[in-house]
Amino acid sequence: MAAHEVVIIGSGPAGLTAAIYTARASLAPLVIEGEPSSTSDQPGGQLMLTTEVENFPGFPQGVMGPELMLKFREQAERFGATFVTEKATAVDLAARPFKVWVRDTLHEARAVIVSTGARSLMLGLPEETRLIGHGVSTCATCDGFFFRGQHIAVVGGGDSAIEEATFLTKFAETVTLVHRRDTLRASKIMRARATANPKIRFAWNSRVTRILGDAKVEGVVLTDTVSGEERTLEVTGLFVAIGHRPSTDLFVGQVDMHDNGYLKTRPGTSHTNVPGVFACGDVQDSVYRQAITAAGSGCMAAIDCERWLEAQH
């Protein structure tokens, strides 16, 4: 089996932009795009769980996240990118050609672009998994509809928590934002949006320590982070938006990472410490984490990759 010129792992805005550019450069990229799930860990990435994207340039009226990702994919396909709709299960980047496994199938590559993104963090409570789909949700856009007229909670204090809370007020009677601090970490515009929304309430200095209900969510126990006191919040839905962690498990011990798990790239480039392995998008960006910056860095990775491959000839 001949080695691919480039294998791209991950298919959010970064991976698909890298695919468009490398495909147009006749590198026939193979994109290992991931597999369907109801978390952000799926083909298309985090935008698959959003509704209207209002800040992606070129769409003055906004665009639906899943639709935008479908267009990215179509564009990559048009120029000859091919796709494997599964997850990469192992990599060996110690020798060239690099090896990428999808279960038992081995794909060899002269270069690898890593764009595995970041996945949402969960609370880690034992009852959380049992109640997913029964009031605990990983996807506000999928499930908000089912909480019409109900009282629900969103955990988190960042932009995505507020975006989710605001979206959920379209359906829910009240949305309580549960945050472990006494101020929001979110941007000014999002904070203003949250405080102006009469349906949004705040539970400051609070942590969700238990989810109540056997067959479905009936409430959550909040523990005050200052006094340690417990109280019950009666809600039928719990949406978790407490942040993300980079999906870099595959690369531990093979590619240099920061302490927080994000891949290290040479400043101003997409080069990792392994020559021929490039990183782009949220997997290497803990600062900006936008669709447009991911796409931009995907373009950088493609160009870096193309030049590196040329220099190898």
Binding to other proteins by residue 189, rule CB under 8 A? no
Token pair for 252? 């531990």
Binding to other proteins by residue 51, rule CB under 8 A? yes
Q: Is residue 190 within 8 Å of 159, Cβ to Cβ? A: yes
| Shortest reach from residue 257's CB to other proteins, in Å | 27
For other proteins, give the closer residue by CB, 6 or 220.
Answer: 220
- First and final C-alpha spacing in the chain: 20
Taking phi over 0 as left and psi of -120 to 50 as alpha, with beta for the rest, 26 belongs to left
Residue 178, C-beta contacts closer than 8 angstroms, at least 6 positions apart: 153, 154, 155, 156, 203, 206, 207, 208, 220, 222, 233
Taking phi over 0 as left and psi of -120 to 50 as alpha, with beta for the rest, 78 belongs to alpha
Binding to other proteins by residue 44, rule CB under 8 A? yes
For other proteins, give the closer residue by CB, 126 or 267.
Answer: 126
Euclidean distance between CA atoms 34 and 156, whole angstroms: 27
- Which of the stretches 31-39, 120-128, 200-208, 305-313 binds other proteins when contact is defined by CB under 8 A? 31-39
Euclidean distance between CA atoms 133 and 155, whole angstroms: 17
Among residues 92, 142, 182, 214, the one annotated as catalytic is 142
Among residues 41, 143, 282, 285, the one annotated as catalytic is 143
Binding to other proteins by residue 130, rule CB under 8 A? no
- Which of the stretches 62-70, 191-199, 254-262, 263-271 binds other proteins when contact is defined by CB under 8 A? 62-70
Q: Is residue 11 within 8 Å of 43, Cβ to Cβ? A: yes
Query: Kind and range of the H or E element at 136?
Result: strand 136-137
| Shortest reach from residue 239's CB to other proteins, in Å | 11
User: One symbol per residue from 236 to 275: x for binding other proteins (CB under 8 A), - otherwise; what is it?
Assistant: -x--------------------------------------
Q: 91: helix, coil or strand?
A: strand
Among residues 139, 280, 299, 305, the one annotated as catalytic is 139
Binding to other proteins by residue 132, rule CB under 8 A? yes
Cα four-point dihedral sign 10, 143, 138, 291:
positive
Q: Is 139 a catalytic residue?
A: yes
| One of 134, 245, 264, 289 touching other proteins (CB under 8 A) | 134
Euclidean distance between CA atoms 60 and 72, whole angstroms: 17
Binding to other proteins by residue 37, rule CB under 8 A? yes
Residue 24, C-beta contacts closer than 8 angstroms, at least 6 positions apart: 79
Q: Is residue 78 within 8 Å of 16, Cβ to Cβ? A: no
Q: Among candidates 72, 45, 91, 39, which has minimal Cα distance to 251?
A: 91
User: One symbol per residue from 206 to 235: x for binding other proteins (CB under 8 A), - otherwise; what is it?
Assistant: ----------x-------------------
Euclidean distance between CA atoms 59 and 61, whole angstroms: 5
Binding to other proteins by residue 146, rule CB under 8 A? yes
Binding to other proteins by residue 169, rule CB under 8 A? no
The identity of residue 259, as a single letter, is D
DSSP state of 39: S
- Which of the stretches 127-135, 220-228, 245-253, 269-277 binds other proteins when contact is defined by CB under 8 A? 127-135
| One of 71, 105, 121, 133 touching other proteins (CB under 8 A) | 133
| One of 142, 181, 182, 273 touching other proteins (CB under 8 A) | 142
Q: How many residues form the binding site for other proteins (CB under 8 A)?
A: 34
Binding to other proteins by residue 65, rule CB under 8 A? yes
List interacting residues with other proteins (CB under 8 A).
Answer: 35-38, 42-44, 47-51, 64-66, 70, 85-87, 132-135, 137-139, 141-143, 145-147, 216, 237
**Among all residues, which ones are annotated catalytic?**
139, 142-143
